[in-house]
Structure 1
Amino acid sequence: MKTCLVVDDSKVIRKVARHILETLDFTVAEACDGREALDACLASPPDVILLDWNMPVMSGMDFLRALREAPIASRPKVVFCTTENGMAYIRAAIEAGADEYVMKPFDRDTLESKLQIVGMA
């Protein structure tokens, strides 16, 4: 079974994402900020990460940069999931190492299509 780490400071977003991902046959773990997510990835890297941009402690961008430099064997796919929709944000996320980008609010079809694009659905 594929694994997904949902990283978002909103408990509601984590709950919604978990529900959708579980219907897509993912095993889901959650983290409420980038620091917690990085620790989880170092312990056991997931197949894919659904990543929020704006979080306390460590932002999505800071987490992504740290993840790409971390000494882990398998590189998780990263789908940024955020309310930031400007081209500059999307470009910055991709340049930092994100594989795909999804806008909040999202639904099952949108998330499933993004996961298909990164080879995870």
Structure 2
Amino acid sequence: MQKNYGDIEFGLYPSAAPKTITFLSLCILVAITPITSSEWTISSHEQRREVEKTIVVEFSDVKHVRGILSMGRYSYPDSAQSSFSILLGDAPHLDGQYAIFGKVTKGDETLRKLEELPTRS
């Protein structure tokens, strides 16, 4: 993933989340700021159906620590779509709650730069 502040390289966990990885390879991935399907320009009914598909949750023994890629979802466990987070710190309270499908393998310095950016409240 290329960002204005540097590159980030991801490694994937196919044994921890094979369905998630397969699904995400077909989607546009949205990091940090999720985009809902209503904000996309979708030219066909078939494309809209693809965007609105959800992923069956895949829990593993992998822990939520800095650099982990974890699926976003609504309150229903099987509601993940294409949004994910890159953890900036350890988050053990998320273990067993969200599907982990990879981790940052290069680019921790880029994550540090992103952490320093001002955010809206």
Q: Return the TM-score normalized by structure 2.
A: 0.26
Higher helix proportion, which one? Answer: 1
Q: Return the TM-score normalized by structure 1.
A: 0.26
Larger RCO, structure (CA 8 Å, separation 6 or more)? 2
